[in-house]
Amino acid sequence: MNLCNLTEIRQLMEKHGIAPRKSFGQNFLVNASIPEEIADTSAYTAPLFARENADSVRVLEIGPGIGALTRELAARYPAVTAVEIDDGLIPVLGETLADCENVRVIHADFMKTDARALISEITDGGSVHVCANLPYYITTPILTALLDAYRPDGSSPITRITLLVQREFADRVCAEAGDRDYSATSVLLALHGCARRAFTVSAGNFYPVPKVESAVLLIDTYPGGLRDLYPDCPTGEAFAPYYAKLTAVIDTAFVMRRKALPNALSSLFPKEKTEAALTALGIRTDIRGEKLTPLDFCRLTAELAK
């Protein structure tokens, strides 16, 4: 069975009495080389083999659809856990993955699951890769949930995230300070790891055909957590309150991105305190948040917390 053949996809859906659901943002791949390349990117792209044994890594797939990418992941990883929200696709997956003994399908809404508990169960103390062809409307909430599944030291059991997303989102995530696409999402992701756009996927590779171009986003998380970016990051019990302040500063700075930071952050700190903190760090007091690097935000938060 070719799960990327349009005729076979239609026949499979007709057999099970279903159709692509717009409410779930379902767009199925119709080019077999794409799920192969996504799985290769997830499993084999450096620096994977430099820091972990591939035989010990498990993979979490969010939204397996009819199983095209799932089968490719199953051929590359020792175990795959796939979470599917659509009850109509559960019997389809039972058929298309019947010969994949290392795949477990969970019928659930990932956004309503305890991500940390699920990942802990999958890894059993090891590491996990996340791979998904995500609906565009829910990309940010899912990525946020994954990034929040960190340990008290700021590191994460998730060592790699490979996502097929809207190209515009990938550009925004990978943007750097001062870029037009630089956003709170860019900074928040950079607190957890390094992101890059692996390759683009044109709209014609999907059924139904979406109105936008897609891209595969590859994120390698920091092995040591936030300390790999900011060595002076608080640890232990002090990490959580510091991280909460840090994300609040970032979010507020970009809500008021056209304002100088002392004004943008005035709902959190007196203007004089922000000005003093910026001065202490050798940063201009009239700078906007969109000009600060992720490391600058870490240092500024620490200075404001004094």
Domain boundary, last residue among 194, 226, 258: 226
Confidence (pLDDT) at 124: 72
Order of strands, edge to edge, in the sheet holding 58-62?
103-107, 80-84, 58-62, 128-133, 158-166, 214-221, 193-201
86 membership: H or E segment, kind and range = none
Residues 100 and 202 both lie in one domain: yes
Residues 205 and 77 both lie in one domain: yes
Residues 221 and 245 both lie in one domain: no
Residue 66's nearest CA partner among 98, 112, 113 is 98
Distance (Å, whole) CA 102 – CA 249? 43
Tally of domains within the chain: 2
Q: Is residue 231 part of a domain?
A: no
Confidence (pLDDT) at 50: 42
Q: Is residue 287 part of a domain?
A: yes
Q: What is the 3-state secondary structure (H, E, C) of 250-283?
A: HHHHHHCCCCEHHHHCCCCCCHHHHHHHHHHCCC
In tens, the pLDDT along 114-126 reads: 988 899 899 876 7
Helices (H), the chain: 6-16, 33-44, 48-51, 68-74, 90-96, 115-123, 139-147, 167-174, 184-190, 239-255, 261-264, 271-280, 294-304
Q: Which domain holds residue 33?
A: 6-226
**CATH number where 74 lies:** 3.40.50.150
Residues 135 and 280 both lie in one domain: no
φ, ψ dihedrals at 85, nearest 5° = -85, -30
Please, which residues bridge with residue 162 across strands? 131, 218
pTM: 0.91
| C-alpha dihedral sign at 190, 193, 196, 201 | negative
Confidence (pLDDT) at 54: 55
Residues 163 and 192 both lie in one domain: yes
In tens, the pLDDT along 272-295 reads: 999 999 999 999 999 999 999 999
Q: Is residue 88 part of a domain?
A: yes
Please, which residues bridge with residue 293 across strands? none
Confidence (pLDDT) at 49: 43
Residue 82's nearest CA partner among 98, 51, 103 is 103
Domain boundary, last residue among 226, 250, 266: 226
Domain boundary, last residue among 171, 206, 226: 226
Neighbour tally for 33: CB within 10 Å:
10
> What is the DSSP secondary-structure string of 35-71?
HHHHHHHHHHSTTHHHHS-GGG-EEEEE--TTSHHHH
**CATH number where 272 lies:** 1.10.8.100
Q: Are 194 and 172 in contact (CB under 8 A)?
A: no
Residues 100 and 221 both lie in one domain: yes
Residues 187 and 240 both lie in one domain: no
Confidence (pLDDT) at 51: 46
Residues 135 and 269 both lie in one domain: no
> Residues with Cβ < 8 Å from 204, sequence gap 6 or more?
none
Residues 182 and 268 both lie in one domain: no
Kindly report whether the peptide bond that precedes residue 208 is cis, defined as omega within 30 degrees of 0. yes
Chain centre distance of CA 47 = 18
Binned average pLDDT, 10 residues per bin, the chain of 306 residues: 92 90 84 96 70 71 96 95 95 96 96 90 85 89 86 82 95 93 94 94 94 94 91 91 96 93 97 98 96 98 95
Distance (Å, whole) CA 271 – CA 261? 8
Kindly report whether the peptide bond that precedes residue 223 is cis, defined as omega within 30 degrees of 0. no
Residues 209 and 241 both lie in one domain: no
Structure tokens at 9: 């996809």
Residue 57's nearest CA partner among 127, 124, 132 is 127
Residues 114 and 66 both lie in one domain: yes
